[in-house]
Amino acid sequence: MADTTLERLQTHLADRYAFERELGRGGMATVFLARDIKHDRKVAVKVLHPDLSASIGGERFEREIRVAGRLQHPHILGMYDSGVSDGLLYYVMPFVEGESLRDRLDREGQLSVEDALQITLEVADALEYAHKQQVIHRDIKPENVLLSGGHALVADFGIARAVEDGAQQLTQTGMALGTPTYMAPEQGMGEKVGVTADIYSLGCMLFEMLAGEPPFSGKNASAILAKHVMEQVPSLRIIRQSVPEEVEYAIFCSLGKSPADRPQSAAAFAALLVAAPMPAGATSTRMMTMRHTTARRTNSGMTSAFGVAAPMPVPLWKRPMVLAIALLVLAGGGFGAYKLTAGGKPVPLADSGGLSKKRIAVLYFQTGDSLATLADGLTEALIENLNTIPSLAVISAGGVGQYRGNDSIPPEDIGKALNAGTLVKGTLDQQGDKIRVSIRLLDGNSGVDFGDPKSFTVDGRNFAAVRDSTVTEVATLIRERIGGEVLLKEQRRATSNNDAWLLVQRAERLRKQAAATKGDSALLIRAQADTLLAQAETLDPKWPDPIIGRARLAYETSRRNADPLEAKAPIDAGLAHINRALALQPQDPNALELRGNLQYWRYLVKVDAEKEKQSALLTAARADLEKATELNPNQAGAWASLSHLYYAIPEVSPRDIYRAAEKAWEADAFLSNAQVVLNRLILASYDTEEWTTATRWCDEMQRRYPASSQAPRCKLYLETSKKKEWDVPLAWKLADSITAMAPKPQQRFERFKSDLLVAAVLARAGLGDSAKRVVDRSRGNPDIDPNLELPQFAAFVGALRGDTTTALADLKTYLSKSDDRRKALAAYPGWWYRPIAETPGFKKLLAN
């Protein structure tokens, strides 16, 4: 046939192309090498087989090929010409010196991780561009990816739909459609095809580049298609352990059976791959190439959808003194005890002669890449289990996480930094189908080993056995060291299903990745984590951890901003998940804490406008959070949330707020929102005139978070307190620091607010006229202060100066913004306005 086709082309196109030889042949077309006579250049002429040409027809072919001809991209093989000659459909492309990806795979089998990622990212770049032009390839496979000059070029854009339509008419006559090795399930079943079909095919191709074989194979097309539809994707890392876990997971996502379960764009798929660690040994040239590919993708708008920053939370002023500088939404990670922040108990700071040996830090276990997920999950399970021992104080995962993967810091330095007298270090080593676990206990004071290391071997196919054996052995070692009873409490139901446990660990790693990712890409990563957790729940429906994990992902998604319309759906989803978890274990403090946070966040963003529903939400959230602390007095996250929620309840005193924040800090000083908790401790003690205590917490803020504006701010607030001497120069210096550290859009507001606090110091120091001049120039305007927050500070200065009329006028302006402010001030007037509290004007303001 090829000779006949070539002769027909030579006869009818002789004035335009000088045909030399056949380059290759497939099920749909034959490619010939030719010379473009007019332009004197080599070209590749692809000619559809005669039966297919007849079925498609020239008009349909020209329509589709015209679309492809408009595509101009560095990784898309362009098109010079097309047409119909003697009934044959053809199109002309540049002749590329190099080889196809199929040629290279046939020669090498597996590609390096570095090369496979580069090729995939370049193909994804091309697909994203084409998809934005409303062009779907429909036939991504190694044969259609050409390699030249170290880069990938995608061929055959734009004709697949015409070929597909024509071929469907020929299947009944016996013409083969070709292997569906890379075909998405919906495409193989003749359903509507979207951009995710190309992503599925690209995922299959990446799998083959790394594994040396495609994910599904079979004796015939029907058998392969059935596997695409029915079978799970095989584990790539079992075949090749050097493949990064993030890459394997990206492939799993791309090969979702339903289009809705895959990344919804080539950009989203590429984002997952870019997030993977750079392969060890990658050459500087290759790394630069991958970076340039990513940069081009960003500049062309490929990742622009991921760059939407969440707006600053809108303050919800409640208490005039405390909340004036509080963060008035729950800080990220407010759900604090589950996984990341299972904290310890308050213990004496040190035994005689050093750090307390009962304060324990379990450092992240070290291992190779193949066991990294197991090592992380084992470390966090060990922390969670040891935390149930009443006599111990265990540093949370949030505290030890900063030392993960860093073996260069001396143990004694870690001990001092974490205030931990006992360190637990461990390693995991793969030995065939066994895992060897080695454990060491070190003295946090000196860094030396306490006794001999402990090693044991367990079945590497049974993760539950690895977990339980490690927990038992560490508990035994600790008991031998510190004496007394070290008894593990009965834990909530765990799972014995290896696959379910591993899925949860992988999902947790993705959740952490999402927490460190900005914009819409975090949503995608959370969606992928949710898919893993859903699979884990299916494998073990009675294990609550996957369900709690899904609820937490929904909660974190809802926290993107304070828009009630956007928050409603993820909040509802989270509540549905957490209620299922509580149906399994009604007394689970982690689940109760999360449900409380979901309800409280729904209250804060006012998803429900009706006051009755708002009141019910606040009551329910408080009940869940308090119940969580009753079940586990060291439920740090629940205490942290309560220390904020109590602001919304007028009858709760600042001392109760302080107690809740103190409990959170004692349970876990490394809570993910520890800085916010520390700030509440400062504010609550300031509000109750506990100056010594407030100073102590302010010093701790300076020590722990010296780069935060909260450090100079708390010092400035303390300068406004009752003391014998006031340092005006220091107050101005602190105000300058606060302003300089503020984000640029907020600097003018922070300048005015800080200057008003300096005015309070001036008034305290007897410089009333100077204080008035500062107030007069610091009142701001609606653009700077749309929430009317500055007048409350001005009223404070007026009260200190004895200018009752001005103070009441400023206070009236502040209260005019919201009746909630009046109610809060009436419930707890505080000490700022004590000089005017007994005046008729003040009482009238609070009464109205």
Catalytic annotation, residues: 139
Euclidean distance between CA atoms 112 and 370, whole angstroms: 17
The Cβ of residue 613 has, within 10 Å, a number of other Cβ atoms equal to: 14
Q: 781: buried, middle or exposed (CB in 10 Å: 19+, 13-18, 0-12)?
A: exposed
Q: Which of 134, 130, 133 is nearest to 144 (CA)?
A: 130
Which H or E element spans position 654? helix 654-667
Compute the CA torsion angle 397, 400, 406, 409 (nearest 10 deg). -170
Amino acid, single-letter form, for residue 843:
K
Euclidean distance between CA atoms 44 and 46, whole angstroms: 6
- Report the relative pairing of strands 350-351 and 354-355 from DSSP bridges: antiparallel
Q: Are 203 and 196 in contact (CB under 8 A)?
A: no
Q: Which of 759, 792, 728, 744 is nearest to 319 (CA)?
A: 792
For residue 279, give both structure tokens.
């392969």
Q: 767: buried, middle or exposed (CB in 10 Å: 19+, 13-18, 0-12)?
A: middle
Euclidean distance between CA atoms 65 and 92, whole angstroms: 11
Which DSSP string corresponds to 84-137? EETTEEEEEEEPPSSEEHHHHHHHHSSPPHHHHHHHHHHHHHHHHHHHHTT---
Euclidean distance between CA atoms 278 and 264, whole angstroms: 24
Q: Which of 385, 547, 404 is nearest to 476 (CA)?
A: 385
Q: 93 forms bridges with which residues in the sheet?
A: 44
Which DSSP string corresponds to 460-516? TT-HHHHHHHHHHHHHHHHHHHH-S---PPPPSP----HHHHHHHHHHHHHHHHHHT
- How far the first Cα of the chain sits from its last, in Å, is 96
Q: 780: buried, middle or exposed (CB in 10 Å: 19+, 13-18, 0-12)?
A: buried
Q: Are 328 and 690 in contact (CB under 8 A)?
A: no
Q: Which of 112, 297, 283, 288 is nearest to 206 (CA)?
A: 112
Q: 426 forms bridges with which residues in the sheet?
A: 439
Euclidean distance between CA atoms 149 and 147, whole angstroms: 7
3-state secondary structure 334-360: CCCCCCCCCCCCCCCCEECCEECCCEE
Euclidean distance between CA atoms 271 and 278, whole angstroms: 13
Euclidean distance between CA atoms 136 and 128, whole angstroms: 10
Q: How far is CA 650 from the centre of its chain?
A: 36
- Report the relative pairing of strands 29-36 and 17-25 from DSSP bridges: antiparallel
Euclidean distance between CA atoms 595 and 617, whole angstroms: 11
Q: Are 96 and 44 in contact (CB under 8 A)?
A: yes
CA 807 → CA 323, 784, 800, distances in Å?
19, 21, 9
- Residue written as token pair 């002309």: 92
Euclidean distance between CA atoms 714 and 678, whole angstroms: 11
Q: Which of 320, 328, 326 is nearest to 807 (CA)?
A: 320
